[in-house]
Amino acid sequence: MPWFGIINEYRNFLPVTHETPVITLHEGNTPLIKAVHFCARARLDLDLYFKFEGSNPTGSFKDRGMTLAISKAVESGAKAVICASTGNTSAAAAAYAARAGLKAIVIIPEGKIALGKLSQAIVHGAHVMQIDGNFDDALNIVKALISRYPITMVNSINPFRLEGQKTGAFEVCDQLMSVPRYHALPVGNAGNICAYWKGYKEYHTAGRTASVPVMLGFQAEGAAPIVRGKKIEQPETVATAIRIGNPASWQEALTVKEESGGRIDMVSDDEILSAYSLVASSEGIFCEPASAASLAGVIKLHKEGFFTPGDAVVCTLTGHGLKDPDTVFRVSKEPSRMAADLEVIEDVITRIV
């Protein structure tokens, strides 16, 4: 069956009517990939799967939420949308706004956005404002602006965003043809973990599945307000996508943890980078650093004896590594340089094969 995006595929579960204009780039239908080498390399005794959201049109899971948020904005007659972002939301907002013929305004922390994401917002024609502040400052500014101007906010506080993002959980169940025991995600503004939980619960209520998973969320140690139980004024992490000190869905994420019997924990930048390079080198999957927080978290909990051998665990890899190629050179060396000389090259080759 051809795929026309998540609204078309899951419309019975979404707040749309046949009058809602569907603004889509055919997002969703991302691969659920079974780990083949990662578990041995990371010493995990698990049935592990990667939900690779980097395969979405703008390279992150945000497209699932943005197709719905932008479609509903057009339905309501909006002319412009706005968001604060650590990069991926702005890339998706800019792309879907372009597709819809809407103006997009994005407010981002200067110098803390991966270059790929900044390029996306610019090339899609968004009005980009870089502020001398962090994501939390940007979000506060956006909240103040929407009460004064006729602009639709497309951050995850917009309920249509999470409605769209919950389709990630539907796909996992459809692809696995069952429900994983655990589902692990990185946590930044804490919207996506709530969206997945909503999706799993709705599929269960609709009789499509027999159970719901235990939800596991992972923050970066330098940006772990939920784990530490207090706002972080100056969040810091290599995983810039989740560099957030005061998540909008903080309380809701705690509810997900309680309802599902799950955990919200934190991982260090070293653990994140190690999982990031391991999944790339052992499985051929290039995700961005924030995405690897879910893997790093699973490795950490496994070491603590949290899992039963053979447990089915799905990790959402939220965004594509190509958005942030600079980080590669924090974990790997630049390729060696040599003369354009067959003998010199052969000398190296004989040591490899």
Restricted to residues 230-269, the positions that interact with ligand F0G (CB under 6 A) are 241-242
Concatenated DSSP letters of 272-295: HHHHHHHHHHHHS--B-GGGHHHH
- With b meaning 16 or more CB within 10 Å and e meaning fewer, what string describes 270-303? ebbbbbbbbbbebbebbbbbbbbbbbbbbbbbbe
Please identify, using beta-carbon distances, which residue of 14 and 241 lies nearer to ligand F0G: 241
- Beta carbon of residue 345, minimum distance to ligand F0G (angstroms, whole number): 38
Asked if residue 187 binds ligand F0G (CB under 6 A), the reply is yes
- Beta carbon of residue 242, minimum distance to ligand F0G (angstroms, whole number): 5
Restricted to residues 275-294, the positions that interact with ligand F0G (CB under 6 A) are 288, 290-291
CA distance 257 to 103: 37
Please identify, using beta-carbon distances, which residue of 213 and 235 lies nearer to ligand F0G: 235
- Beta carbon of residue 10, minimum distance to ligand F0G (angstroms, whole number): 19
Over the window 17 to 56, marking each residue x when it contacts ligand F0G by CB under 6 A and - when it does not, the resulting string is ----------------------------------------
Strands 47-52 and 32-34: antiparallel
| Residue 16 CB-density burial (10 A; 0-12 exposed, 13-18 middle, 19+ buried) | buried
- Helix axes 292-303 and 269-283, enclosed angle (nearest 10): 100
- Hey, is 124 helix, strand or coil? coil
Please identify, using beta-carbon distances, which residue of 88 and 209 lies nearer to ligand F0G: 88
Among 192, 237, 274, 327, the residue binding ligand F0G under the rule CB under 6 A is 192
| Region binding ligand F0G by CB under 6 A among candidate stretches 69-77, 86-94, 229-237, 329-337 | 86-94
Asked if residue 190 binds ligand F0G (CB under 6 A), the reply is yes
| Residue 149 CB-density burial (10 A; 0-12 exposed, 13-18 middle, 19+ buried) | exposed
Residues of this chain that bind ligand F0G (CB under 6 A): 60, 62, 85-89, 156, 186-192, 241-242, 288, 290-291, 318-319
